[in-house]
Each structure stands twice: as C-alpha cells, then as structure tokens.
Amino acid sequence: METRSGKFAGDNPFEIAQRWLDEATASEPNDPNAIALSTVDADGLPNARMVLLKAIEDDGFVFYTNYGSAKAGELDGAGKAAFVMHWKSLRRQVRVRGTIMREDGPAADEYYASRSLKSRLGAWASRQSQPLSSRSALMAEVAKVTARHGTNPARPEFWGGYRITPVEIEFWADGDFRLHDRFVWRRAEAGADWTVQRLNP
C-alpha cells in the first residue's frame, strides 16, 4: 500500500479538507469556500449551482440556504448530493458524495446571527427560486421586512442549513503532463471505516 505524503498526508479526510481550504484561503482571490453543489430533481435531471461552504465538521460539510429554494426541494427529495470544491490557485480540488440532513437548530441560529444585517434581512425578503417581477419589487420587499423585523431579525423558519455526510471524498492535485494525483476515501456508511485508494488520472 502506497504511503501518502505531502499534501495528501493524514488519517482523517475532514482534516485534510480543512487544511486544503486553509491553504486556499491564503491564495485564492475570491470565495475559497465556494462549492459547485449538484442535486437531482424528481425526474432524475441533474442540477448544479455555486454555494458557499460554511463549516467542515468532524463528519460532515455544512452550507446554508432557503428551504423553499429549488436546491432545497431537490436535497430533501433525494436525500443525497455531491459537490466539488476547486482552487485554481492551488491546482487542487475536493469531490464529495453523500447523504443529506437539515441543520436547523442552534448551529443554524448561530450562523444566521453572524451574518451582516443586510444579509439577514435579505434572507427574509427573498423567495428564492420563485419568479420575480423586477429588482425594484425585491428592494421594496427588503424595505418591508426591515420595517417589520428591525435590526435584530430572528432566523426565518424557512432558512437554514444542510449537512452532507460523505460516503466518498476524493482529493485531486494537478500533475505534470496531465498525470494528476488522485486519492479517494470511501466507506459504506457514516461512521464506518474509510478505505483509501489511489486512482488513475
């Protein structure tokens, strides 16, 4: 079995992912925590969009959204999702596949409270993914919720987080002549032991 060293070293994939994200934070010009989140709708048609990863936990990855959005409907419907986090400056990426559960407790409250006031009010105002007649209509709604909720709005019940608990995590790094380095961590289910395997580029 090949010994992993350098950027791939470690016995915990979440710690490796956090280390890579920390390194990207120092080199990536914008949103080093951006992920391309993939879901499927009720017909199995794939969908993808960029969201911001907000936490790498002991056994999962967490992001936040409006529970009325298209992505939320697809996440709740399938119970599974995937994402890729790519850093052009480091020439690396992390791919994750796993199961989904909502994070709508104290952790969601804490994250919501940490956002800027305008972002918190924007969460109240936006009916994410629904048709919008104009930008001015959206700004009018922002004014309404500002008057209604003031300077310390509570987290809306329709807004919160999702946690992806992975069964597969792949670490990819650019190699000379397109001979990239790839290591995939796999497990049968959450809590099970990981197996690690090098993949062909």
Which parts of the chain fold into alpha helices (H)? 13-27, 70-78, 106-114, 117-125, 135-149
Q: Is the dihedral of CA 62, 64, 68, 71 positive or negative?
A: negative
Contacts of 55 by beta carbon, 8 Å cutoff, 6+ apart: 61, 62, 107, 111
Nearest Cα to 103, choosing from 183, 154, 163? 163
The HSE-up count of residue 145 (CA atoms within 13 Å, CB side) is 21
Active site residue 178: yes
Contacts of 30 by beta carbon, 8 Å cutoff, 6+ apart: none
> Which residue in 4, 178, 186, 187 is the catalytic one?
178
- d(C-alpha 148, C-alpha 121), whole Å: 10
Tokens linked to 119: 């972002």
Q: Can you list the positions of beta strands (E) in 142-188?
A: 159-173, 181-186
Active site residues: 178
